[in-house]
């Protein structure tokens, strides 16, 4: 982790920008590892695509809450956008 964060306490909230950053990192990780999982037989292409699309939907929902445009379904095995 790049930055040491303050401890999380009961009742704390997570700002939308932090939630979007977390989901963005998770989606990038899935785009890196799922192709390997598919080639190793640990997941099917359909499973990898569905799981990545679901995480993209979470990001799209958060973006909609902040008025940002949403994405279209990505090709799971394509390079992640920069």
pLDDT in tens, 37-69: 999 999 999 999 999 999 999 999 999 998 876
Instruction: Please tell me whether the overall predicted TM-score, pTM, comes out greater than 0.95 for this model.
Output: no
Q: Which residues contact 19 (CB under 8 A, 6 or more apart)?
A: 62
For residue 26, name the pLDDT band (cuts at 50, 70, 90): very high
Question: CA–CA separation, 18 vs 27, rounded Å?
Answer: 14
What percentage of residues in the chain have a pLDDT greater than 90? 57
pLDDT of residue 20: 93
In terms of Cα–Cα distance, which of 65, 71, 64 is closest to 27? 71
């Amino acid at each position: 982790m790049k930055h040491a964060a303050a401890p999380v306490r009961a009742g704390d909230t997570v700002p939308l920008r932090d939630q979007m950053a977390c989901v963005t990192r998770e989606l990038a990780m899935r785009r890196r590892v799922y192709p390997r999982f598919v080639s190793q037989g640990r997941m099917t292409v359909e499973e990898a695509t569905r799981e990545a699309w679901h995480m993209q939907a979470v990001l799209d929902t958060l973006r909609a809450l902040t008025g940002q445009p949403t994405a279209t379904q990505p090709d799971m095995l394509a390079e992640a956008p920069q």
